[in-house]
A and B are shown apart, each in its own frame.
Chain A
């Protein structure tokens, strides 16, 4: 029952409205057994009902970060929007609105129930991220298209679909087509699908579905491949040797080098390039392998470190917890004895308790300080070791880059020789027809050609330098960040938290006697 919005004054989602909606959801209702809290805690609200209110725009909902259920049916909403922050939403009801397009749902990955009943939607689309969708209601809309149905095939968890009231649903093949194309659903239009008609329908659309499946499989395969590739690249990047597994670096050298490319047309350059490329790639490949291996060693080292640190922390925490438990036992006994004799605590007992508290505090603090010392030492060792590894990596890589530069120098020399020879021959007029026109003036005289060679060489060198710098700066950055984080989290934050906890505990326990 979509209404025309111009007939009604649209409402705005305001603070008052939200407050009312939240309050009205509570079971006790008007019966105020619990005093009203002055400030509304939006993040504590799990479900919200904003129905029958002539809301036009979905707005001001971003505060409800823990919302799991949102009802906004029977409004005059035209666009789905403003839901990006409600990532925990599992239940969304937007039925009886004026929505024309499915959109803005991309972040709602937890959504299981979605109702868009009675809207003006023509296409089922833009829902790819809703992997957990279980119930989907799109009845009474304008869906009139087989592709929309096929679109629903991607939701593996979909069990219930409502499609009636759409133009498509009035077609004679509607039922068979739908149950054949959506084998995962159990209920269509809220009716259980029987086995027999489903088999029949499957038979009927066998070939089409087969084709569909094939395409879907291919797509999936493709996705998987690109995924794998991405992962691989990520791995290489973490080893700081990305794009070094093949000849990318070599090709990159010639990419921006227009003059150099021209120079390659010199007779004899082909062989030279092939030869150099082979050597170059071989060196780059050793670098690549070395990088991966180094990463493995580093990872193992880091794992080792964390296992040991966590063990130490757990052990320490456990011991502290035992001390606290023992104290609590003592406390219960102490007060139990006292209660039998008189009301309240005698001063002698209070003094004893106070002493015991101080003792407890000292013990816990001593444990903590011991842990801090232990961790500090371990972290320092780790830092040193890792630093050594990184410098080792850098050294080795630098040596390899040196090899690459030598190779480049050799290449440059050879190409100069070739060019000079070519120029001489050109002068003699032996090579007339072998050069394209634009190259010809390059070979007009020796100086030009030498200049060109030099430019090309510089470009190549700068490429190598660039790659080297990038690699080294990234690895040193990585090291500093990690070590800094460890210092920050393990040494500073953890210690502060523990100290606060201890003082909280002591304060809480001291309250026992202070009240008296």
Chain B
């Protein structure tokens, strides 16, 4: 008997040496116990001999299954093996209970959806779904958390009576913590993780899936660019720093003052933190420590997991094994074995060891699994961490240990999800979470009309009343909007776009109200003018550029404040410009002193101020200021040079070239032209901003979604195209089928396509087909032979001609002759090979034909010739 293995194994604990006959009665007792005195932690020892109760006499069903016929066979009945296992676990439970009287009952064989007891290990159905998104543990956990609606255990300090199949859980979109853990474990084992369902105890917050005390997981990660200045190594001739003449005492006093302020600040911060912690501290829990919960344990080894950790299936978060939220573990199991925790959990899970092979700490149920685990770790040590290798190894080891009792294959059908179901993800395509001061709403893509997939609302208080910040994420939007953040307090909006907009907008920050300020960041590489950023306020407009050929870095326009007007604002009005400043980078091809750094068009003051770049050896840049001539606007007058026009010049070095008056004059004319140009550009920039506003409004209104061409479910055009392709494929296939040659067809046609033939005709058909094949082969061979001979003949003639004319030949003719000969030889060689091949193949083909004829049903009894297939 297979059971003895288990018994022998546990003989050391089995003080009384039970007989097998006792098993069944114990089962009933146990069940009665768990029903009647649930809260009793120490169960009284049962008398040994009780009337025998038939195994199928279970207490009234807890599960009412309305339509058991809808479930497959394995859901409704237990196989023999399963029965055996159930008996075996009853034995185990009884012994366990006997030895550890003060331990709570184990979660071993709950009822499934058809009201049948099933062993928990067989409820785990390792599955790898065809979505790459479920391959990583965090993605899978998040999916499970998103996919299901959580149901609380009732009562919360007691193990559930039922455990539904992961299939039903997946389909129904709901489940308790055991269902969650079971489903997630199925996915994780399927993905190659060494995962286990854990049954134990946790805090009220975890059991209630109360995340309102957790920080918002969607907090934006602020990018901090930490530029480390590498201090150059001290070289031999590094100059000594100049003497430091500042008072050390002063510095010390100052530092002390600063320290004091800092300490003050720290103290206040600490107090504040304490106050917040006080507010956030949960109320005391009367059931602390006995609330039953289930979660997932992942052990290191497979899939490059470095150390053991927990996954909370209800939220999808990974947790450390010493997390204070988890208060104790009763047992863990996977699809192969069941382990009972023998360690002290009075201190939570902090000091637990997760080496399941350690028999002092973990009591296992099946032997073979121990050796298996040993084998796996051994291979891990030698071969490495590849999950695939491990799985292969698993199979091999299982085969060798077949003789032990083993967990029967899972009774659960293979889990399956359609892509549409996977994409819908949430129950009814949407789900709402609450975190500390944060509400998160998630939507399936394409579910909402405006393409929103995620909405995070941050609040100032714990009661979700005062809204501070709203972040909305979108997908598949036509205007490429990816994210919109709305700061309620400052009333500003920041929108982030994906690449691909016609105006190459990347980020757009703007506010509402009269004191408007807006910033636009562009994908500068996609823009011809290299515009990277545009910043506008009431009185300023600045364009920042990068990578321009003329080294322009930014252009900044200052506007006059607009006189306040009442009534409808005239939008088209250009604001009067005070000045425009252009800043240029260094053009290394020019002298620093000829390379303009800053060009100020002081339009209101009729001035131009030029600042040149500073040389490496100088400390001051050269500057030059022009004054516009009085009549500059009058095109009819030729402007004459006068010394007043150049207001002042400063050159850093007297050796620098002085500009002649002529050059200065032309420079000024050019500057005036340039001024017109930049004014135009500034106006254009303003127009662009207004344009953008209008366009954005229109885009917001239209809110169309985009469908990828690969998304045949949604994209109509793609679907039509795909259908067309499918249709064409089918047609092709049909045509090909027709094309398959029927070697008997011509002969059948010759005798008038009869529907039946007799043996004699069959024989004739057969011989004529064979004959025909022979004929054709010979004809083909002859043809090739003839060509070959022809070719040889030609070559010989050519050679003879050459012999004759060889003496009087030019070099070119000779070359030509050689070429011809080579060609001929090449052709001969090919012909020869083909002939050879033909000879070889003919015999083979003949044999093939013969065997085909032999097997042809038409040439056999009863000689029926089917109608030609269409």
- Chain A residues at the B interface, C-beta cutoff of 8 Å: 26, 31, 33-35, 37, 41, 44, 301, 304-305, 307-309, 311-314, 317, 320-321, 323-324, 364, 370, 373-375, 377-378, 381-382, 494, 497-498, 500-502, 504-505, 508, 511
Cβ-defined contact, A501 with B653, below 8 A: yes
| Bound-complex Cα distance A312 to B620 (A) | 18
Q: Verify if B132 is at the interface (C-beta below 8 Å from A).
A: no
Cβ B239 vs Cβ A321 within 8 A: no
Residues of B near A494 (CB, < 8 A) are: 617
The 6 closest A-B pairs by CB, nearest first: A308-B237, A374-B239, A320-B619, A370-B242, A312-B239, A34-B641
Inter-chain contact B654/A311, CB cutoff 8 Å: no
Partner of A377, one of B239, B618, B640, B660: B239
Given contacts A33-B639, A504-B654, contact A317 B240 (CB under 8 A): no
A500 vs B656: C-alpha distance in the bound complex, in angstroms? Answer: 13
Which residues of chain B in 499-535 are interfacial with respect to chain A, using CB atoms and an 8 Å cutoff?
A: none
Complex: chain B residue closest to A310, CB-CB: B616
Contact A321:B620 (CB < 8 A) given known A34-B662, A308-B235 = yes
A381 / chain B contacts, CB cutoff of 8 Å: 237
Question: B48 near A: Cβ within 8 Å?
Answer: no
Q: Which residues of A contact B640 (CB under 8 A)?
A: 33-34
Q: A33-B639, A321-B619, A500-B653 are in contact. List 19 more A-B contacts (CB 8 A).
A: A34-B640, A34-B641, A35-B641, A304-B236, A311-B232, A311-B239, A314-B616, A317-B618, A321-B614, A323-B619, A324-B620, A370-B242, A374-B239, A381-B237, A500-B654, A501-B618, A501-B620, A505-B619, A511-B648
* B638 at the binding interface (Cβ < 8 Å): yes
Complex: chain A residue closest to B650, CB-CB:
A508
Instruction: Using known A-B contacts A364-B619, A497-B653, A501-B618, determine if residue A378 contacts B661 with beta carbons closer than 8 Å.
Output: no
Question: Min CB distance, B41 to chain A, in Å?
Answer: 77
Interface residues of B in 297-319 (CB under 8 A from A): none
A377 CA to B240 CA in the complex, in Å? 9
Residue B150, interface by CB 8 Å: no
A497 → chain B closest CB, angstroms: 7
A34-B662, A41-B660, A374-B240 known; A497-B617 Cβ under 8 A: yes
- Cross-interface CB contact of B661 among A35, A311, A323, cutoff 8 Å: A35
A33 touches B620 (CB 8 A): no
Contact at B661–A307, with CB atoms within 8 Å?
Answer: no
A34 nearest CB neighbor, chain B only? B641
B652 at the interface (CB under 8 A from A): yes
Residues of B within 8 A of A307 (CB): 235, 237
B124 to chain A, nearest CB (A): 68
| A309 cross-chain contacts in B, Cβ below 8 A | 237, 239
B665–A33 CB distance below 8 A: yes
Q: List 30 A-B contacts (CB under 8 A).
A: A31-B638, A33-B638, A33-B639, A34-B662, A35-B641, A41-B660, A44-B660, A308-B236, A312-B238, A317-B616, A317-B619, A320-B619, A321-B614, A321-B620, A324-B620, A373-B242, A374-B239, A374-B242, A378-B239, A381-B237, A494-B617, A497-B617, A500-B654, A501-B619, A501-B652, A504-B650, A504-B651, A504-B652, A505-B619, A505-B620
Is there contact, CB below 8 Å, between B235 and A304?
A: yes
Write out, one digit per residue, whether chain B residues 651-672 have a CB within 8 A of any chain A CB (1) or not (0): 1111000001110010000000
Report the count of interface residues on B (CB-CB < 8 A).
28
Chain A residue, CB-CB nearest to B241: A374
Is A308 a contact partner of B665 (Cβ separation < 8 A)? Answer: no
List A contacts of B240 (CB < 8 A). 374, 377
Determine whether the beta carbon of A33 is less than 8 Å from that of B619: no
Which residues from A are CB-within-8-Å of B618? 317, 501
Q: Which of B213-257 contact A (CB under 8 A)?
A: 232, 235-240, 242
Chain A residues near B617 (CB-CB < 8 A): 313, 317, 494, 497
B152 to chain A, nearest CB (A): 67
**Residues of B565-609 contacting chain A, CB below 8 A:** none
Chain B nearest CB, measured from A279 CB (Å): 39
Contact with A along B628-648 (1 / 0, CB 8 A): 000000000011110000001
| CB neighbours of B616 from chain A (8 A) | 314, 317
When chains A and B are docked, how far (Å) is the Cα of A44 from the Cα of B236?
46
Tell me which of A37, A377, A501 has the highest count of chain B C-beta atoms within 10 A of its own C-beta: A501
Residues of chain B contacted by A308 (CB below 8 angstroms): 235-239
The reply to whether B641 and A33 contact each other, CB–CB distance below 8 Å, is yes
A511–chain B nearest beta-carbon distance, Å? 8
Give Cα distance in the complex from A230 to B607, angstroms: 59
Complex Cα–Cα for A307 and B617 (A) = 15
CA distance A381 to B237 in the complex (A): 8
In the complex, what residues of B have CB within 8 A of residue A323's CB?
A: 619
Contacts of A375 in B (CB 8 A): 239
Q: Give the residue of A37, A305, A313, A373 whose beta carbon is less than 8 angstroms from that of B237.
A: A305
- Distance, CA A79 to CA B495, complexed state (A): 75
Chain B neighbourhood of A501, CB < 8 A: 618-620, 652-653
Min CB gap B650→A, angstroms? 5
> From residue B639, how far is it (CB to closest CB) to chain A in Å?
7
How distant is the Cα of A44 from the Cα of B662 in the complex, in angstroms? 12
| Beta-carbon nearest neighbor of A312 in chain B | B239
Task: List chain B residues, Cβ under 8 A from A508.
Answer: 648, 650
Closest to A507 in B: B650
Q: Which residue of B lies closest to A379 (CB)?
A: B237
Q: In the complex the two chains form, what is the Cα distance from A516 to B232 in whole Å? A: 49
B621 vs chain A, min Cβ distance (A): 8
Closest CB-CB distance, B241 to chain A, in whole Å? 8
Complex: how many Å from CA A472 to CA B652? 44
Which A residues touch B648, using CB under 8 A? Answer: 508, 511
Residue of A nearest to B657 (CB): A44
Bound complex: CA A311 to CA B233 (Å)? 12
- A33 and chain B: residue at smallest CB distance: B640
CA distance A321 to B617 in the complex (A): 10
Chain A residues with CB under 8 A of B238: 308, 311-312
Contact B239 A382 (CB under 8 A): no
A474 to B455: give the CA distance in the assembly, Å.
82
Q: Which residues of B contact A373 (CB under 8 A)?
A: 242
A residues near B661, Cβ cutoff 8 Å: 34-35, 37
Task: Find A26's partner among B237, B651, B652, B662 (CB 8 Å cutoff).
Answer: B662
Complex: A65 Cα to B522 Cα, angstroms = 49
Bound: A34/B641 CA distance, A:
5
Write the nearest CB–CB distance from A303 to chain B, whole angstroms. Answer: 10
Contacts of A320 in B (CB 8 A): 619
A217 to B282, CA, bound (A): 90
**B653 partner residues in chain A, CB cutoff 8 A:** 497, 500-501
Interface string of B52-84 (1 = CB under 8 A from A): 000000000000000000000000000000000
Give every chain B residue within 8 A of A504 (Cβ-Cβ).
Answer: 650-652, 654
Interchain CA distance A507-B476 in the complex, whole Å = 65
CB closest residue in chain B, given A368: B619
Q: Chain B contacts of A37 at CB under 8 A? A: 660-662
Minimum CB–CB distance for B667 against chain A, Å: 12
Which residues in A have their C-beta under 8 angstroms from that of B239?
Answer: 308-309, 311-312, 374-375, 377-378
Which residues of chain B are within 8 angstroms of A311 by Cβ–Cβ distance? Answer: 232, 238-239
A44 to chain B, nearest CB (A): 7
Q: How far is the CB of B357 from chain A (nearest CB, A)?
A: 63
Within the complex, the shortest CB–CB distance from A382 to chain B, in Å, comes to: 6
Q: CB-CB < 8 A to B641: which residues of A? A: 33-35
Complex CA–CA separation, A495 to B652 (angstroms):
15
Given the complex, which residues of B lie within 8 Å of A374, measured CB to CB?
239-240, 242
Choose among B232, B619, B638, B651 the residue that contacts A324 (Cβ–Cβ < 8 A).
Answer: B619
Q: Which chain B residues lie closer than 8 Å to A34 at the CB level? A: 640-641, 661-662, 665
- Shortest A472–chain B CB gap in Å is 27
A304 touches B614 (CB 8 A): no
Which residues of the partner chain B approach A314 to less than 8 Å between Cβ atoms?
A: 616
Assembled-state Cα–Cα distance A166/B242 (Å): 75
Measured CA separation A381–B238 after assembly (Å): 11
Q: How far is the CA of A219 from the CA of B537 in the complex (A)?
A: 70
What string of 1s and 0s marks CB contacts (under 8 Å) between B830-859 and chain A?
000000000000000000000000000000
- A30 and B131 CA atoms in complex are apart in Å by 83
